[in-house]
Structure 1
Amino acid sequence: MSLIQLRRRDALLSLAALGAMPVLAHTAAHPPLAAPAPPPGDSVYQLEATLEDQDGRPFALSSLQGVPVLATMFYSSCDMVCPMIFETVHATLRALPAAERAQLRVLMVSVDPAHDSPAVLKKTAQAHGCNGQWVLARADDATTRKVAAVLGIQYRQLANGEYNHSSAIDLLDRQGRITARSGKLGPADPALVAAVRKLQAKRVT
Structure 2
Amino acid sequence: MKRRTLFLIFVALACACTGTLTAADLRAIPGDSVYRFDATLSDQSGTEFHLGERRGRPLLVAMFYTSCRYVCPLIIDSVKGVEHALNETEPAHLRFLLISLDPARDDTAALKSVFDKRKLDAAHWTLARTSESNVRTLAALLGVRYRALADGEFNHTSALVLLDREGRRIASSEALGATPDPKFMAAVRNALEISTK
Which amino acid letter does the alignment assign opposite residue 108 of structure 2? Answer: P
Answering whether residue 6 of structure 2 is matched by residue 16 of structure 1, we say no
Runs ≥4 residues deviating over 6 A: none
1:104 to 84, 90, 94: 94
Unaligned runs of 5+ in 2: none
The answer for the alignment partner of 2:149 in structure 1 is 158
Q: Which amino acid aligns with 1:75?
A: Y
Q: SS in structure 2 opposite 1:202?
A: helix
After superposition, what is the alpha-carbon deviation per residue over 1:88-140, rounded to whole angstroms, capped at 9, x for unaligned?
Answer: 11011111112112211001000000110011101111111211111100011
- Secondary structure of the residue aligned to 1:93 is helix
Unaligned runs of 5+ in 1: 25-34
Contact 1:12/1:150 (8 A) holds in 2: no
Aligned partners of 2:75, 2:27: CA distance in 1, in Å?
Answer: 31
Letter in 2 for 1:190: P
Q: In 2, Cα distance between the equivalents of 1:96 and 1:37?
A: 33
Q: CA deviation at 1:10?
A: 3.2
Please list the CA deviations of residues 38-92 of structure 1 after superposition, one character each: whole Å capped at 9, or x if unmatched: 2111100010211111111111000000000000100000000000000011011
Q: 1-side partners of 2:26 and 2:113: how far apart?
A: 32
User: 1:76 and 2:66 equivalent?
Assistant: yes
TM-score, normalised to structure 1's length? 0.85
Matched, 1:191 2:183: yes
Aligned to 1:58: 48
Write the distance in 2 (CA, Å) between the matches of 1:56 and 1:11.
31
- Check 1:22–1:141 CA distance in 2 against 1; reply closer, same or farther (3 A cut): closer
For the 8 Å contact 1:51–1:139, the answer to whether it is kept is: yes
Q: 2:58 touches 2:195 (CA, 8 Å); kept in 1? A: no
Describe the SS at the equivalent of 1:98. coil
Question: Which position in structure 1 is the counterpart of 2:29?
Answer: 39
CA contact (8 A) 1:154 1:166 kept: yes
Choose the corresponding residue for 1:181, options 169, 172, 180.
172
Deviation at 1:191, TM superposition (A): 1.1
More helix by percentage: 2
Q: Residue 28 of structure 2: SS of its match in structure 1? A: coil
Q: How many residue pairs are counted as aligned between the two chains? A: 191
Indicate the residue corresponding to 2:107 in structure 1. Answer: 117
Over 3 Å counting, the alpha-carbon distance change for 1:173 and 1:22 in structure 2 is same
* Paired residue type of 1:192: F
Let me know the Cα RMSD of the aligned residues. Answer: 2.6
Deviation at 1:156, TM superposition (A): 0.6
Change (3 A) 1:37 1:100: farther
Aligned to 1:143: 134
8 Å CA contact retained: 1:12, 1:46: no
